[in-house]
Chains A and B, each alone.
Chain A
Amino acid sequence: MPFEWVVALRFLREGRFQTALIVSGVAAGVAVFIFITALVNGLQANTIRRTLGTQAHIVVRPIEEIAQVQRSVPPGTASIPKIEARAQRLRSIDQWQLLEQDLARTPGVVDVSPMATGPGFAVRGDASKAVAIIGVDPVRYNRIVAIGDKLVGGEFRVQPGEAVLGRELAADLGIGVGDRVRLITTENEAVTGDTLTVTGIVDLGVRDLNRRTVYVGLRTAQSLLSLPGGVSQLDLTVTDLFDAERIAAALAATTGLTVDSWMKTNAQLLAAINAQTITTRMIRLFVVVIVVLGIASVLVVSVVQKRREIGILRAMGAPRARIRRVFLLQGAMVALSGSIIGCALAATMIVVFLKLARNADGTPLFELAISPELFVIATVGAIVCGVLAAVAPAQRAAALDPAQAIRM
C-alpha cells in the first residue's frame, strides 16, 4: 500500500473512538438522506400516480365561445355595453382527425385518444342518476388511462350497445355485469334513450368519479350527445410528466384551442408537491452541512493531536502534498465506511417502514423503491463531502512547520 493509505488507515485506527463517532455520524446522515429521499419520492410518485390514474396528461378542448361587443357606435354617442357571458354548448373539435395526427407527431407526445363526453342520466326502473357519459375508443383510451387495471368486474368492452359503469353507480342502480341500463341525454331527441348492456364495472379510485362515470363506445356517445362524427376532447400522454405544461402551452399557441395540462388542472397538488420537494432539499442540505462539519471538526482535532507525528513524517522526507493527501484520504475513508453503514441502515429503515405503514386492508401504504442509484449517489456524494470536509484540516496539517511540530 502507498504511504498515504498506510498512514491514513493507521491514524484512523489509532483514534478509534473518534473514528467510530464520526463514522456513526456519517452513517446516520447518509441513512436519513436516503430514507427521506426514498420516502418523499415514493409519496410523490404515489400521489401523482393516483391523480393521473384517471386523468390524461394533456387535454385539448374546443375554444370557449365568447360574446363580442357591438363596436359600431354612431359618432358622438357612448356605449355602455353589458355583456352576458355565453353559455358554452357542447361542441366538437373542428377537424379533429387532422389535429389528432398533428398532435401525435408533436415531440414529447406519446399517445392521443379522442373522447366524446357530456352529461346524461343513467336510468334503471324508477332510479335515475346524473352521470358523465364518456365515449372512448377502448384500445386507445387504455393507453392514456390504464383503465384495464381498474376493472373490478367484467371487462372493458364498449361495443355499440355496451357500457362500463363506475362501481358506486352500479351499486346505486343495483346493476351487475350483464344487466341493462338506459342512458338519457338532453340532446337525444328520443327521450327513451339508449338501452345498453353493462359489460364491466370499474373502480377509478375516487368515490365521486365512480358514482357518475359511464363509459360507452365513441359512436354511442356521439349519437347520444348529438356530436355526429365529433369529439369533445383529445387526451394526450407525454414522455416527461413534468414537461406537460410546456407542451400544453406550445400546443395552445399553435392550435388556438384550449389546451390544459394536468399540472394546471392540479395546480394545488403540484404546489404542495413542490413545497415538499423544497422542504426535502433543505433537510438534505442541512444533513450534508452537519456531516461535513462533523468530519471537519474531528479531523481538525486529529491534526492537532498528531502534530508530532506529522512533524516526524516531514522530517523523514514526506513532502507537504503527501501529508495533505493523508488527511484528505482520511476524510474519504470515514465517508466511505460511514456511507456503507448508512446504506445498510437506510435499507433496513425502508423495509421496516414498508412493514409498518400499511393500509387497513394490509396492502402497503405506497411503494417505496430501494433504488440502487440513490444509494450510489449518496455514497459518492458522501465521499465528495468527506474530501471537501478534509480540505481545511489537511491544509493545516500540510502547513505545519516540522521543527515546531516536533518540539511540541
Chain B
Amino acid sequence: MTSPLIELAGIRKSYGTGTEVEVEVLHGIDLALHAGEFAALIGPSGSGKSTLLNLIGLLEPPTAGSYRLLGQETSALSDDAITALRGNAIGFVFQFHHLLPAFTATENVLLPRLIAAGPVTAQQREGARDLLREAGLGDRLDYLPRKLSGGQQQRVAIARSLALGSPLVLADEPTGNLDTHSADGIFALMRRFNRERGTAFLIVTHDPRLAQRCDRIIELVDGRISSDRVNEVSLVTT
C-alpha cells in the first residue's frame, strides 16, 4: 500500500489552554486517509467533527500529537509554510460555500491559482471554465455568486476546491443547507470528480443517507473515533 495522504497519530485538541475553562475536544485521534478515498465523517453535534476537519485542513494546529500531510510532519512548520502546503494540498468546500461575492464564478475558481502563481493566463482561465462546465455550470460562467442558486454556488465551490488539482478535498456539511434534490446533485458531482480525477474526499455530514453513499464511514463520538469501517453498500451501489 502507498503511503497515506494524511496520517494522524494521538491528535488532541483543547481550547482555552492554560485557563480555568480548558476543554479538550479531541482526545487522541489516530486516522489515515489514502489517495482517492471517498470517506464520510459523521457524528452528533459537538463530537468534534469540524474541529478535526480544521486540524486536517491545517486551519488550526493540534494541541498534541503528530500530523503528517503528504508525508510531511506539520507540527514544526512556520505559518507561511503551513499556508503554502494547505494551498497546494487541500481544497475546501464549506457548508455556506464561501464564494467571494465580488468575483464571478470563473474568477472564484481562478483565485487559488492567482494566489499560488500570480497573474493567470488565458489558458488557465479556459481550464477554470472547463472545470465549471464539468460541474454543470456552462451557462453561468460569468455570473456573480448572488445570481446563483445555493446548489449552483456549491458547485462553484467544488470546482474551486479542485482548481489546483489538490489530492484532497475537505468538505464541511457541503449539502447542509440545500434541498434534497440539490444535495443529491452536489454529492454526485463530488463522487464523479473522485472517480474521474482520483481526488480524495473527506466529507463531514449529518445526513446518514449521504454517508451511506461513501466508501468509508468514520464516526466520531465525544472526541474519539468510535467506528471506522468500509461501507460495502456504497461500493456496490454508487
Contacts and interface: CB of A to CB of B under 8 A. Distances in A.
Interface of A: 1-3, 6, 10-11, 13-14, 308-309, 311-322, 401-403, 406-407
Contacts of B83: 314, 317-320
Contacts of A1: 119
B18 to A, nearest CB: 17
Given A6-B114, A10-B103, A13-B102, A316 B119 contact: no
B47 interface: no
10 A-B pairs with the lowest CB-CB distances in the bound complex, closest first: A317-B87, A403-B59, A10-B102, A14-B102, A403-B60, A319-B83, A312-B98, A403-B54, A3-B114, A316-B112
Interface in B79-116: 79-80, 83-84, 86-88, 92, 94, 98, 100-103, 111-112, 114-116
B104 to A, nearest CB: 10
B86 A317 contact: yes
20 contacts: A2-B118, A3-B118, A6-B114, A11-B102, A14-B101, A309-B98, A311-B98, A312-B94, A313-B100, A313-B111, A315-B86, A316-B92, A316-B115, A317-B84, A317-B86, A317-B115, A318-B115, A320-B79, A402-B59, A407-B50
Interface in B159-218: 160
Interface residues of B, number: 27
Contacts of B59: 314-315, 402-403, 406
A10 B103 CA distance: 8
Contact of A316 (B80, B102, B111): B111
B151 interface: no
B116 A317 contact: yes
Contacts of A6: 114
Contacts, number: 69
A403 B115 CA distance: 19
Nearest to B51: A403
Name, among A317, A318, A406, the residue most crowded by chain B CB atoms within 10 Å (CB to CB).
Answer: A317
B57 interface: yes
B221 to A, nearest CB: 22
A406 B94 contact: yes
Nearest to A10: B102
Interface in B12-67: 50, 54, 57, 59-60
Given A403-B59, A406-B59, A317 B112 contact: yes
B60 A401 contact: yes
A406 B97 CA distance: 10
